[in-house]
Structure 1
Amino acid sequence: MIYKRKVQFYETDAQGVVHHSNYPRYFEEARGYYLEKIGYPYERVREELNTDIVLIELQISYKKPLYFGDNFEISFGISDMDKFFFSFEYSVSKGNTIIATGKTRHACLRIDTRKIISIPDILRSKLNGT
């Protein structure tokens, strides 16, 4: 899947370069976009499945900078999944230039108990694209 975005001024430092702390936010936006596209936005996961999706691991490799006003895209998708955990891999690019790559790992928590649960079947099938 591809998520497209433009760098906003507030995301940059004094040199006009995107601050490194924004990349996890970009990944979060892309995941939210993904969940909306598969028909299970965060609100629906919380309300219908009594489930939170939580981030448990984050990896980022920075290759090149982004600047205020740059248009960029994030190519991403599910890279692995088991009974309890699933991961996304990301590639941030501007044109043909790779800006950053990353990976996040997630688990599902039952909202009322705050304990890790297996990925709900309906969510698993949506994440798998079935």
Structure 2
Amino acid sequence: MPSQFSMTRTIEFCETDMAGIAHFSNFFRWMESCETAFYRSLGVPLISLVPGEIVGWPRVNASCEYRAPLRFNDVVEVKLFVKKISKRSVCYVFQFFKGAQLCAQGEIFAVCVTANEKGVMQAQLIPESMRSQLEVAAESNWA
């Protein structure tokens, strides 16, 4: 069972500020892109919109600590680690590397929800098809 995943991307010009440094808000987009690619690699849908089986993952907490700038055309490796799994939520740690340098580290805490008949989100148990695919990463990998 996977406990981590990584993807590589190149910083685009449109993702930078006037100084050519990656804008802080993009790190949150890249975390979500990595999470989506992680679930795609497992063959598990991140979101299901099938009537009666609606599953979503709203974020209840997200953070990112910036340590070194990423700039236009830098190649960055985004690493995802499963930090914690509970009955209804998952917490991920994301690390952003340029070569061997850790440039940023973020965390996303997401709750598994479904929509009731009125469309109101309600926390639900993580579907077994998804839970069975996940494993918590050793803290020594990301701490």
> Which of 23, 41, 48 is the aligned partner of 2:45?
41
SS at match of 2:40: helix
Q: Deviations over 1:12-36 (max 9, x none)?
A: 0111000101100010000010010
Please, what TM-score do these two structures have when normalized by structure 1?
0.91
User: What 5-or-longer segments of structure 1 have no aligned partner?
Assistant: none
Give CA deviations for 1:78-129 in whole Å, capped at 9, x if unaligned: 1101111111111100001111001110111113441111111111112239
- Tell me the distance in 2 between the aligned counterparts of 1:38 and 1:81: 16
| CA shift for structure 1 position 76 | 1.2
Higher helix share: 1
Q: Distance in 2 between matches of 1:111 and 1:37?
A: 26
CA distance, structure 2, for counterparts of residue 87 and residue 41 of structure 1: 17
1:116 aligns with 2:120: no
Instruction: Give the AA of the match of 1:47.
Output: V
Cα RMSD after superposing both structures: 1.6
Tell me which residue corresponds to 1:91: 95
Q: Give, in angstroms, the shift of residue 46 of structure 1.
A: 3.4
C-alpha distance in 2 between matches for 1:102 and 1:72 = 14
Percent identity over the alignment is 23
| Corresponding residue of 2:32 | 28
Q: How many residues align?
A: 128
Task: State the alpha-carbon separation in 1 of the partners of residues 131 and 49 from structure 2.
Answer: 15
Alpha carbons of 1:5 and 1:42: their partners in 2 closer, same or farther (altered >3 Å)? Answer: same
Determine if the alignment matches structure 1 residue 6 to structure 2 residue 43.
Answer: no
Give yes or no for contact 1:89–1:103 (8 Å, CA) kept in 2: yes
- Cα deviation 1:42-66 (Å, max 9, x = unaligned): 35x3338421122111111100000
Q: Distance in 2 between matches of 1:78 and 1:40?
A: 15
Q: List alignment gaps of at least 5 residues for structure 2.
A: 137-143
TM-score (norm 2): 0.83
Letter in 2 for 1:108: C
